[in-house]
Amino acid sequence: DKAGHKHFMAKEIAEQPQVIAEAVKHYLGQSGHSITLPDGGLDFTGIDRLVMVACGTAYYACLTAKYWFEQLARLPVEVDVASEFRYREPPVTEGTLALFVSQSGETADTLAALRYCRDKAERIVSVVNVPESSIARESDLALPILAGTEIGVASTKAFSCQLTVLLILALEAARQKGRISEERLESLLSALRGLPATLGNALETDTMAEALSLELAEAQDILFLGRGLMYPLALEGALKMKEISYIHAEAYASGELKHGPIALIDKHVPVVVMAPRDALFEKTVSNMQEVMARGGRVVLISDHAGLEAAQDGIWRSIEMPMVDPVLTPILYALPAQLMAYHTAVAKGTDVDQPRNLAKSVTVE
């Protein structure tokens, strides 16, 4: 049942305020002021390193979470795609928390990576959407993301719910390790409680994304740029775009632009820049200027303050609500998904069943 939407993907994008509200309620309890993990929780004493492994969109959720675990909890994190991790035979030592993220819980490479860590890691934890899945069953602790069934092959609500659960886990690690003040913790929990409403507002960018997508649908190539927490999101935006619209899309860390990819820029290439006005914003502005100086068409996704500060020359923009910088990946996932969705619709592709792709990849 598409609940009045043309595609399951549109329905699942629109559902994000509700499903994230569910996840937040589940992990922050009725009061919303403390973190509760299932099954007796997780003891971070004795954990001095995290290894996070996943594939595709779930891998980008892990890359995002690396910033959170490192910055909030000061825990070193290694992130890898499961197909590389499993055959590299990396050292996994005591004190390592091995964390696997998978919507289906059945991805062959992720499951094999989990089995490799069994008997080596201190604890095996998974973040899954299907609680009865193999990955959930074989973990010491499985954290549900509560996204509900996801039918569209391109993952949308599962991604934002994965991010939400991973952020809560990073906050719990920071709390247990005494690396976050009570005030800062409460202010981030409060931002999480307010997130469903903020996401509801962000969905209003749908019409802007739709209008923009008519123009993006003409492109042969699209670049996505982001810094810090926006870098993994740029990767996710490019993956979503190529998966369902079949337009070649690539993402780079903004600072990498001048180390090669800038050679691709001309007046035919739209460059989507994801940049809320955070501590790194000024750096991104100078990267945008480099793009514009070469005729590149910049699409800036930012908040009111960012759009004000970005000056002239921006080709198109999408204005996002303001939110604590820590939460921006969850919010900015929406325009990334909406742009891909509307571009695919404009191109007339099979949005829910893109060619060559399967929802659950149970063979390597």
* Calpha distance 106→103 (Å, rounded): 8
Encoding tokens for residue 83?
């197909």
Minimal distance, residue 354 CB to ligand F6R, in Å:
9
Closest by CA to 320, choosing from 309, 310, 332, 330, is 332
CB of 239 to ligand F6R, least distance (A): 6
**Taking the CB of residue 304, how many other CB atoms lie within 10 A of it?**
12
Chain residues that interact with ligand F6R, rule: CB under 6 A: 55-58, 102-104, 107, 110, 154-155, 239, 243, 360-361
Please say whether the beta carbons of 162 and 61 come within 8 A.
Answer: yes
Amino acid at 274: M
Phi–psi pair at 92, nearest 5 degrees: -120, 115
Given 177, 242, 347, 359, the catalytic residue: 359
In degrees, rounded to 5, the angle at the alpha carbon of residue 55 between the alpha carbons of residues 51 and 57 is 110
Residue 219 or 239: the one with the smaller Cβ distance to ligand F6R is: 239
d(CA 82, CA 56): 9
Tokens of 302: 């930012």
Q: What type of residue is 9? A: M
* In the complex, least distance from residue 11 CB atom to ligand F6R, rounded to whole angstroms: 16
Q: Least separation, in Å, of the C-beta of 57 and ligand F6R?
A: 3
Nearer to ligand F6R by C-beta: 107 or 284? 107
Distance CA 6, CA 15 (A): 14
Give me the residue whose beta carbon is nearest to ligand F6R: 56
Complex with ligand F6R: residue 287 or 337, whichever CB lies closer: 337
- 359 assigned to active site: yes
Give Cβ neighbours of residue 49 (< 8 Å, ≥ 6 apart).
Answer: 75, 76, 77, 78, 93, 95, 96, 97
Q: State which residue, 104 or 213, has the beta carbon closest to ligand F6R.
A: 104
- Report, in Å, the least distance between residue 224 CB and ligand F6R: 15
Cα–Cα distance, 22 to 25 (Å, whole number): 5
Catalytic residues: 359
